Amino acid sequence: MIISHYRDHATAYANATRDVDMTPVRARFQAHVAPGARVLDAGCGSGRDALAFQRAGHRVAAFDASPELARLASEHTGLHVCVADFLSLSETTPLGVPHGTRFDGIWACASLLHVAEADQAQAWGRLWAWLAPGGVVYASYKLGEDERVDELGRPFTDATEGRLSTWIGQLDGVGQIQTWATEDRRQDSSERWMNALVFKQARA
């Protein structure tokens, strides 16, 4: 799913989000990802977090549904950023990693929230297939129970812990789930966010 706003205003969006300080949230995710581990930035936007993970020593891959944002993120990070969306993601998606690679951590910051509620389970399933046993997915949504299109034409699916549990209920090997609420990290916004870490059980 390509959202026209992120094609038509890619540069403005990247400039507005590139310097948002996500350090506290990244730290909570990275506490569960070993140094040098493989991390996938899923819906990477400007490439802000992909670059931070790269600088922290992780082996990073990234994708975005917007070709324009993928190009800008590639320029920002020096990575090959694949053009893909959550519902087309498959084992043949060219993420620039060896065939059969699985990621120790998947970071989906403010990206899965653009997937329709009816497609959330499918999107999670496609991400989950890329996650190594013992790995963790971080995802963030605006806190709530609505599904809407904003004034910029962007679709949003809000989440609560209960809604998330429904979407991931059919995934194999779901372990611990941690959720917490945060205030928006952007200075011009007062929205509340639901953050989640979803752990995949290690093989016995």
Q: Give pLDDT tens digits for 67-108.
A: 999 999 999 999 999 999 999 999 999 999 999 999 999 999
CA distance 67 to 42: 14
Q: Which residues contact 21 (CB under 8 A, 6 or more apart)?
A: 185
Tell me which H or E stretch contains 63.
Answer: strand 59-64
pTM of the model: 0.94
pLDDT of 54 over the 70 cut: yes
Which of 19-28, 67-76, 88-97, 185-194 has the lowest average pLDDT?
185-194
Task: pLDDT band for 15, please (50, 70, 90 cuts).
Answer: confident
Confidence at residue 16, expressed as pLDDT on a 0 to 100 scale: 82
